[in-house]
Structure 1
Amino acid sequence: MAKNSFLILHPKDNLAVALENLKQGQVIEHGEQSLTLLDNVKLKHKFALCDFPKDAIMTQYGVPVGRALMDIKTGQAITVENTEHSSDDMCNWMPGYQAPPTDASHFEGQSFKGYHRKDGQVGTRNNWLVIPLVFCENNNLMTLREVFNRELGFTDHSSYQTELRQLTELYKNGASVDDILNSAETSTSTAKSSNNLFPNVDGLKFLFHNMGCGGTNEDSQVLAKLLAGYIKHPNTAGVTVLSLGCQKTQMGLLESYMEQLEVTGKPIYFHEQQKIGTEKELISQAIKSTFAGLIQANQNERSDAPLSKLVIGVECGASDGFSGISSNPAIGQVSDLIVKLGGAAVLSEFPELFGVEKEMIMRCKDENTANTFIDLMRKYEARAEADGTSMSTNPSPGNIKDGLITDAMKSAGAAKKGGTAVIQDVQDYPGYIKQTGLNLLNTPGNDVESCTALAGAGCNLILFSTGLGTPTGNPVTPVIKVSSNSTVAVKMPDIIDFDTGCIISGEKSLEETGQNLLQHCIDVASGTTLSKSEKLGQDDFIPWKRGTSL
């Protein structure tokens, strides 16, 4: 049997993970134990290391991750048919947690090239934002985006336009439907920026959304607070704000949250359509103010900043059975290094902490912080139950297909993104990060909603673990996609920034991979490297309506 055909993650575990497709009848040697597989076990899936009577608890990462729905024999595959979610109950906080030591000596004294803001924050990008207070203004945003991109080239889709033009010519010359479908591909470029007039401006970003009116007062307040976070964000140079005038999310509400966040030193231009009159005049004024804003933003230049100015959000999406073994722990290494260097890391996705609450509680710095986390988790689960569901239903079909068959399995691996540091603060959505060190932010597990919240909380980089591949990005913050396996990195090179499959193959250690990933983060923060999502122009922005979203 190949030495690396399976993996046991913790001495307490009674499940093993297949590192390759294993065949029924194969003999597995584990220490002094020899067992015969009773089923085929697919890559990334688990098999039993012992007999499980019905209702017995299964353990992975040293914590409960499932309960046997029937008797399961040693060597049998773990499936949705024979296993259900199970986890440790919540507990009361107790003092005594000590984070393991982190050696950050390799990065001490290093810096990145960033944009220094008047409030002391440092941006990794220099963006001008155009924000609607209500969805009624989305059409005007579309007009502004088309006008500015066509004239200034912040986004380049010229190769796709060339391809469409060639297809048009084929059709004019009598090509059939099959001829069109089978024609040679001509477009390989991405939507990278080609702005030359304002070289110090990294992006002109338009935050389309479907909120601002017609919802609850809470929805309006949440949107205003989130947008205030985007305006305060260190990657934001200034903002053009469009309003209809009669909507629930009033400019005064936005201004009140900006005051709470102490937003200062940034040009902000406000345009209200019902006061201005015609759409033509509104757009004319918005073009002038946005162009004037770009001139001001272009006056900013990058200069050296300590790594303590990095605020790194950690996220996962389209996870697989390797995510908790390679990409998530590698991101956790970066989290611990940044904390050690005096920066901040932010772990979100509360449905993906469901099942590992005990670990999170015991890592909190004090009882008040732990109680805040407990209260938010209980409210989240209560809201889900009121809607007839549970956070245990979080795993998607893709997760299950690739080995994450219970929410506790998914959560135990997802939590690895937060490393091992002490939790300094817990924030409800849409909070803004105030503390250095490791922070928790209450968000859904939904990738885009969570990334939207992380950026709104002030994260100037986001590390995003994926096992299956996803193009998710953000308009303000670079999103660095980290693959759990080399197969998806090779198959989807246009969206994967960093491959941690070397951990699975044994080519590199977790520690070395984590250090390499942090160095990549420094390059992206400095603007010498663009994230793949930036190259694709993937500007996903979906505010969370505070209903059930897993």
Structure 2
Amino acid sequence: MKQIVLKVHPSDNVIVALTDLHKGQQVELDGEKYLLLDDVNAKHKFFTNDMNTGDEVIMYGVLVGKTQHAIQRGMLMTTDNVKHASDPFTYRPFHYEWKAPDVSKFKDRTFNGYHRADGSVGTANYWLFIPTVFCENRNLDVIREALHNELGYAVTQKYKSYAHELVEAYKKGEDIHNLSLAPATAAETRKKRVFENVDGIKFLNHQGGCGGIRQDAAVLSKLLAAYADHPNVAGVTVMSLGCQNLQVADFQRDLKERNPNFSKPLYIYEQQQSQSEEQLIAEAIRKTFEGLIEINKIERKPAPLSKMTVGVKCGGSDGFSGISANPAVGYTSDLLVALGAKVLLAEFPELCGAEQQLIDRTRDEAAARKFIHLMTAYNDAAHKVGSGFHMNPSPGNIKDGLITDAIKSTGAARKGGTSPVEDVLDYTEPATKPGLNLVCTPGNDVEATTGKAASGATLILFTTGLGTPTGNPVCPTIKVATNTKLAQKMDDIIDINTGPVIDGEKTIEQMGEEILEYCIKAASGEVIPKAVLLNQDDFIPWKRGVSL
């Protein structure tokens, strides 16, 4: 018989509905029967026992909230009867023992990547356009349209063709409802390319570089330098106005500091020193075209899986995120760590409630204290403007079962698996140590993926229960659905479905291995994640203000 409810941890006093349950229905789990006093939709929770005002609500084995009034066994958990609460955290000497998963079937596996001069290996081969200031965005848009259309990277071409067909049918008096948009396949996408070994030309349009405070420009400079130095980037064109806060010299200094031996093609253009806008754009296109000819000579070659750097992220999360997709990705994380690869877990507002577990898993005391400092300073800054980590869950999260931030966060932390934490990185700091790294970013989908790529992620595993079109310009983003309904409804953006875990058809371990297999194929260019096919190139720099 299919399981319809789940207690995630033996000490939990709430139970998760795996399917819609109804008031008056009696359910049984581990030999104990529960009479439901409310309708409990799939992904939501009900209480296992009577509770008084202020009692602790436990899920995943940790404190996730406190009751606001007396509650009866079998009642639905809601934002009215439970408010966020989490345990305090501190550094304490702790000997964490980790049992690595069996990786014998993967230990001799390789992926075909792009080998860089500094020893890193990319999963893609991109040319990157960087504006040092928002004033150059318009010029980037002109260049994007010219190069994307001519070189075969424009996802909009199919929509232009579709619009043309609609116009022609309208002129002829034909029924436009008979026309449909044919989706492009990965093979068709490659076939259109002029440069077979160039996976794309990417553009980092942003709203910074001038105005604001000087610290904003300084952080942006380090972020842009990180993207220029990214293993998936083979060449860079920089567009500058000239008078902005973020000067080209600042960017060059940060790039040299990050990688003293940076040797990729780097072309810099300053508009206030040019003869005209037309001359500036034409010269940037011509020189970039020459660079594309050169990087097209780079071919994929085998690399050990230890050369992979995988970011793990969740967005549009639901009540199944911490039960199916996140733990499955967590098992993939453990496999990668056991193979010597790097895994990046970020979204600090979504680690609220899981802090002590992560601190206890951190090998180095200095790194643990750095994590405590970053988390505390971030949350304090949020409270100073009348917010706090407890306000992180979105209306969509709450509607689909994530009632408190601690529930959301403890489930989100499962993406990082169970391995020891090897390092803690502030925003834009590069990951240098194999193993699990914590990266300080907001929880916001795009700000978080932007930060993960800056720390060196060459693939991102992005779990979602509600669906999201988020991607990244330089880091292929793989969408992992928490449930089969979503995977079927939004199959144009979902790459992997972990719904079989909820349905009892597969184990977490089986799904984790399947996800790693997909990562190997994506890293080798054998499959193209749908976010890449759709040019979902989202990029939002974090100004280090309060962003949840």
Using the size of structure 2 for normalisation, the TM-score is 0.97
CA contact 1:127–1:236 (8 Å) conserved in 2:
yes
Question: Is 1:154 matched with 2:153?
Answer: yes
Task: Report the CA distance between 1:171 and its aligned residue.
Answer: 4.4
The residue that corresponds to 1:230 in the other structure is 227
- Cα distance in 1 for partners of 2:311, 2:264 equals 24
Give CA-to-partner distance per residue, 1:380-419, whole Å, 9 cap, x none.
0111011111110000011001000100000010000000
The residue that corresponds to 2:402 in the other structure is 404
The residue that corresponds to 1:201 in the other structure is 198
Task: Report the CA distance between 1:93 and its aligned residue.
Answer: 2.7
- Cα distance in 2 for partners of 1:284, 1:31 equals 71
The residue that corresponds to 2:477 in the other structure is 479
The residue that corresponds to 1:51 in the other structure is 50
CA contact 1:190–1:536 (8 Å) conserved in 2:
no
- % same residue: 50
Question: What does 1:295-310 align with in structure 2 at a 5 Å threshold?
Answer: 295-310=293-308
- Cα distance in 2 for partners of 1:511, 1:238 equals 39
Task: Report the CA distance between 1:165 and its aligned residue.
Answer: 1.4
SS in 2 for 1:336: helix
CA contact 2:64–2:406 (8 Å) conserved in 1:
yes
Task: Report the CA distance between 1:91 and its aligned residue.
Answer: 2.0
SS in 2 for 1:38: coil
The residue that corresponds to 2:12 in the other structure is 13
SS in 2 for 1:107: coil
Question: Is 1:241 matched with 2:226?
Answer: no
- Cα distance in 2 for partners of 1:101, 1:149 equals 45
Q: Given residue 396 of structure 1, which amino acid in structure 2 is its aligned partner?
A: S
Structure 2: state its 5+ residue gaps. Answer: none
Task: Report the CA distance between 1:490 and its aligned residue.
Answer: 0.6
- Cα distance in 2 for partners of 1:269, 1:195 equals 26
Structure 1: state its 5+ residue gaps. Answer: none
CA contact 2:100–2:334 (8 Å) conserved in 1:
no
Alignment CA distance shift 1:375-1:108 (3 Å):
same
SS in 1 for 2:542: coil
The residue that corresponds to 1:534 in the other structure is 532
Q: Given residue 411 of structure 1, which amino acid in structure 2 is its aligned partner?
A: S
Task: Report the CA distance between 1:292 and its aligned residue.
Answer: 1.1
Task: Report the CA distance between 1:235 and its aligned residue.
Answer: 0.4
CA contact 1:156–1:194 (8 Å) conserved in 2:
no
- Cα distance in 1 for partners of 2:319, 2:289 equals 48
Question: Is 1:320 matched with 2:314?
Answer: no
CA contact 1:348–1:450 (8 Å) conserved in 2:
yes
CA contact 2:126–2:232 (8 Å) conserved in 1:
yes
Task: Report the CA distance between 1:358 and its aligned residue.
Answer: 0.9
The residue that corresponds to 1:167 in the other structure is 166
CA contact 2:190–2:196 (8 Å) conserved in 1:
no
SS in 2 for 1:233: coil
Task: Report the CA distance between 1:129 and its aligned residue.
Answer: 0.5
Aligned mate of 2:182, from 185, 188, 206: 188
Equivalenced residues, count? 544
Task: Report the CA distance between 1:100 and its aligned residue.
Answer: 2.8
Question: What does 1:90-169 align with in structure 2 at a 5 Å threshold?
Answer: 90-169=89-168
- Cα distance in 2 for partners of 1:148, 1:66 equals 53
SS in 1 for 2:105: helix
Task: Report the CA distance between 1:193 and its aligned residue.
Answer: 5.2
Using the size of structure 1 for normalisation, the TM-score is 0.97
Q: Given residue 342 of structure 1, which amino acid in structure 2 is its aligned partner?
A: G
Alignment CA distance shift 1:9-1:197 (3 Å):
same
The residue that corresponds to 2:436 in the other structure is 438
Say which is worse superposed, 186-195 or 223-232, in terms of deviation.
186-195
The residue that corresponds to 1:39 in the other structure is 38
CA contact 1:52–1:73 (8 Å) conserved in 2:
yes
The residue that corresponds to 1:74 in the other structure is 73
CA contact 1:322–1:484 (8 Å) conserved in 2:
yes
CA RMSD of aligned residues (A): 1.4
Task: Report the CA distance between 1:156 and its aligned residue.
Answer: 3.8
Task: Report the CA distance between 1:3 and its aligned residue.
Answer: 4.8
The residue that corresponds to 1:282 in the other structure is 280
SS in 2 for 1:403: coil
Task: Report the CA distance between 1:277 and its aligned residue.
Answer: 3.1
SS in 2 for 1:248: coil
Q: Given residue 404 of structure 1, which amino acid in structure 2 is its aligned partner?
A: L
The residue that corresponds to 1:368 in the other structure is 366
The residue that corresponds to 2:213 in the other structure is 216
- Cα distance in 1 for partners of 2:358, 2:373 equals 13
Task: Report the CA distance between 1:494 and its aligned residue.
Answer: 0.7
SS in 1 for 2:145: helix
CA contact 1:486–1:500 (8 Å) conserved in 2:
yes
- Cα distance in 1 for partners of 2:262, 2:366 equals 31
